[in-house]
Chain A
Amino acid sequence: MVAPEVPVQHWRIPAVLMTSVLVAEVGSATLKSKAVKRTEQIRYLRVFLRTPLAWALLLLLVGAVAAEARHREGNRLACASVAMLMDRQIFREKIAGPGRAEIRVLRACVEYATFTTYDTNNIPPLSTVRRISDGLP
């Protein structure tokens, strides 16, 4: 007696499922590669921080930043004090035409201190700064 042949069920995987499986695999691969990259970055950082030379580099970086800050602060204070000095000397009126020496100081002190004594409207690059009191162009 021959057993009746069981018809083989040919399942067709729907295209949507195929696509989602593919996306999941690609996504997983991307995540893996991201994780690998992150691990590598951490490893590089760890290796870097283990060496004494790295700390010397970081110390140099901090020192350079501190030196720049100190110079900028000194410059700002020098500009502020000379601006106060001049402003107190010439207090009667605004001077329309500052001398050559004053213009050089004004230019060196751009962004560090503002003189109020001198009219800087015609002195580039100081003239680019428009004050509210100048009104609309």
Chain B
Amino acid sequence: MLVWLSKFGFNRAFLVNPVTWVATALVGVALLAANGADQHYDNTCAVIAPAVIGATADDEYFVQKYDNLTYQHCLGRIPQQWAGQWPLTDCSPGGQAHWSNGEPAWLPQKCRFNTGVYQLF
């Protein structure tokens, strides 16, 4: 292994070089930051899922494109217990709201925002 590494420049001169130390420190910090950002992203999606899915119990809940967008941005990070219960729209002609496990959802869809709440934005 060491012989193999030495072919790529792993030797004493490389190890005692201050530039190597600085570069290694920077790599360490960057890896820690990336890991922290990854965990934060996981955590965000883990708390978003119950908030969105819990809101569907409201009688006035309607499915909109932002349900799909949030689902897409959190895909692969949604906890297993919520993974199949996400409300989604199908805004194609004749499309119907459904859950992320494919079952139809009897929720109203709002595919256009030129009416209703649009004026707020």
A72, A88, A99: the one contacting B64 at CB < 8 Å is A88
Chain A, 57-82, contact with B by CB distance < 8 Å: what is the 0/1 string?
11011001101100110110111011
Q: Does B14 contact A (CB under 8 A)?
A: yes
Residues of A within 8 A of B38 (CB): 67, 71
Q: Does A45 contact B (CB under 8 A)?
A: yes
A48, A64, A102: the one contacting B19 at CB < 8 Å is A48
Q: Does B117 contact A (CB under 8 A)?
A: yes
Complex: A65 Cα to B50 Cα, angstroms: 31
- 12 interchain pairs, CB-CB under 8 A: A48-B14, A48-B20, A53-B8, A54-B9, A71-B41, A75-B37, A78-B44, A82-B66, A85-B70, A88-B120, A105-B48, A108-B48
A51, A60, A105: the one contacting B47 at CB < 8 Å is A105
Number of A-B pairs, beta carbon distance below 8 Å? 137
Complex: A112 Cα to B41 Cα, angstroms: 11
Residues of A within 8 A of B69 (CB): 77, 81, 84-85
A89 x B23 contact (CB < 8 A)? no
Complex: A102 Cα to B54 Cα, angstroms: 10
A50 x B9 contact (CB < 8 A)? yes
